[in-house]
Structure 1
Amino acid sequence: MKILIIEDEARIAKRLERMTRKFFEHNLSSLAICDSLTKGLNYIAQHPIDILLLDLNLNGEDGFTVLETVVSGSFHTIIVSANTDKAITAFAYGVLDFVPKPFDETRLDQAFKRITSSGVKIENEIKFLAVKKAGNVCLIDIQELFYIKGAGIYSELHLKNGQTELHDKSLEKLAQLLMGSFERIHKSYLIPLQVAERIIVQPGSKYHLLLKNGEILPIGRSRYKELKHKMI
């Protein structure tokens, strides 16, 4: 894991560092601390990271002003902030978790487990996915998604209007964010169940899903029974 902490209070930054190192132990390959948004964004531009721990109030700077940018990245963002009034909006924009200050080790560990344990459901509903487009960040309403297809380290967002947008997060990371509202029907596909029409069973134990727009997607053999049960 490559982790960046953006926190202007040295005492809290050191506490976050200590708890992070304890949780990930030998799975931590790098950990950096930046005390301003400018330094943090410069670091992100020059170094790949897996997790960002971001405060929302940094020496008078509003971390929320860059939230749209960071959540469009390939990494997960965890907010660590006393600004709990912004938690709902932060979740809507696609952060993995919001850890309110003051926090303890148990609460921070819970946030990290959302990344390391695929079965941990995010309680708050994500309403948007942020994508980079022509140098800008655009917010795509989750309700406009028809399905998501894995494309290597990226993901293709297939929209109801027929357009396709590329997201910097992998399908695995988006599956962690969208757990509960989207179903993983195949190693390469995520769908909201409401777009599904019916399951098609073909000879040779091959399964496909007919969508309401007429498209047909493959269903993984290991996911067929669970999907069939959910569509009853």
Structure 2
Amino acid sequence: MKILIVEDESRIAKRIERMTRAIFGDGLQSIQHSNTLQEAMTIIGNNKLDLVLLDLNLNGRSGFELLTTAVSESFHTIVISAYKDQAITAFEHGVLDFVPKPFNQERLAQAFNRMHTKEATENNTVKFLAIKKRGRIQLVPIKDVIYIKGAGTYTELFLTDGTKELHDKSLEKLEQLLSHSFERIHKSYLVKMSEITNISVASGSKYMAQLRNGLRIPIGRTKYKDLKAKWI
């Protein structure tokens, strides 16, 4: 694990680091700390990270200035903040979890565990997926996403207007964020459940999902029974 802590209070940053080291142990490869948005952006741009732990108030500046950029990257973002009223907005932008201050090691470990499970938090209702396009960050509304296809370490978002966009997160990471409305129906596909109009068995015992736009997407053999039960 390569982790970046973005926190302007040194005492809290050291506490987060101490707890993080205790939780990950030998699994922690590196941990860095930044107390400014600008420095954090530089670190993100120059390093391959697995996780960013972000405060939402950095020397009077809003952490959302960094959040939109962070959630478009390949790593997960967990917010650690006293501003509980901003939790829903943070989840809407695609954070993995929101840890309210004050917190303990058990709560932090719970957030870290979400990196390895599909368990959704109560407020995890992502409304946007942030993508990098022409050097800028663009927010794609979840309501416009029909399905998502894995493309190696990246993913392709297929939209209602017939276009597609590239996202830096893997299919596995997006599955963790979108488990409330999307279903992994195949090793290469995440599909919005509300877009499925029919599930059938094609020739050669191939399972297929028919979408509202007429497209047919393969269903993995191990996914068929579970998907059909959820769809009905």
TM-score of Structure 1 vs Structure 2, range by shorter chain: over 0.9
Q: What SS class does the counterpart of residue 223 from structure 2 fall into? A: helix
TM-score, normalised via structure 2 length: 0.96
- Cα deviation for residue 155 of structure 1 reads 0.6
Bigger shift: 204-213 or 178-187? 204-213
Matched with 1:172 is 172
- Tell me if structure 1 keeps the 8 A contact 2:118–2:175: no
Quote the residue 2:101 is aligned against: 101
Task: Report the residue type matching 2:130 in the other structure.
Answer: A
Which residue is equivalent to 1:30? Answer: 30
Q: How does 1:1-232 map to 2 (within 5 A)?
A: 1-116=1-116, 118-124=117-123, 125-232=125-232
Contact 1:122 1:179 in 2 (8 A): no
Q: CA deviation at 1:62?
A: 1.5
Q: Is the 8 A contact 1:183 1:193 kept in 2?
A: yes
Corresponding pairs, count: 231
TM-score between both structures, scaled by the size of structure 1: 0.96
In structure 1, how many angstroms separate the alpha carbons of the residues matched to 2:192 and 2:22? Answer: 37
Deviation digits for residues 74-129 of structure 1 (CA, Å, limit 9, x no counterpart)? 1100001111121111111111111111111111111101102x232232211111
For 1:53, the aligned partner's letter is L
Q: Which runs of no fewer than 5 residues in structure 2 stay unpaired?
A: none
Alpha-carbon separation, structure 2, partners of 1:123 and 1:179: 12
Offset of residue 18 of structure 1: 1.1
Report if aligned partners of 2:91, 2:97 keep a CA contact under 8 Å in 1.
Answer: yes
Could you list the runs of 5+ residues in structure 1 that have no partner in the other structure?
Answer: none
- Structure 1: which 4+ aligned runs deviate by more than 4 Å? none
RMSD, matched Cα: 1.1
Q: Counterpart of 2:118 in structure 1: which amino acid?
A: G
